[in-house]
Amino acid sequence: MLDPRGREEGSVAMAVIWPAFHLNQVALGAAGITEFSFLAPHISAAVLAAITVLFGGLAIRRLARKSSES
């Protein structure tokens, strides 16, 4: 089923879980383009920062655990 803009409804719902979507929203906001914006740029920037902290912390934890086993 298509939404009013001609896209599949599920594709928009799935797009918000990917960091590339949020990076795109920040870039559109920085360029001043509001036609294709789904989220405010500051919300997308916060999501990108949260993803970075989450996965950076997981990587540091795994590296610390791996080096303590040696």
Please tell me the predicted confidence (pLDDT) of residue 70. 66
pLDDT in tens, 19-40: 999 999 999 999 999 998 889 9
Residue 1: pLDDT band by 50, 70, 90 thresholds? low
Asked if residue 26 lies in contact with residue 44, where contact means CB atoms within 8 angstroms, the answer is yes
Length in residues, the chain: 70
Question: Could you give the percent of the chain with pLDDT greater than 90?
Answer: 60
**How many angstroms separate the CA atoms of 40 and 42, rounded?**
6
Q: Which pLDDT value is given to residue 41?
A: 94
The answer to whether the beta carbons of residues 19 and 51 sit under 8 Å apart is: yes
Q: What backbone torsions phi and psi does residue 22 show, to the nearest 5 degrees?
A: -70, -35
What is the pLDDT at residue 15?
82
Average pLDDT, the chain: 87
| Residues 17, 27: Cα–Cα separation, whole Å | 17
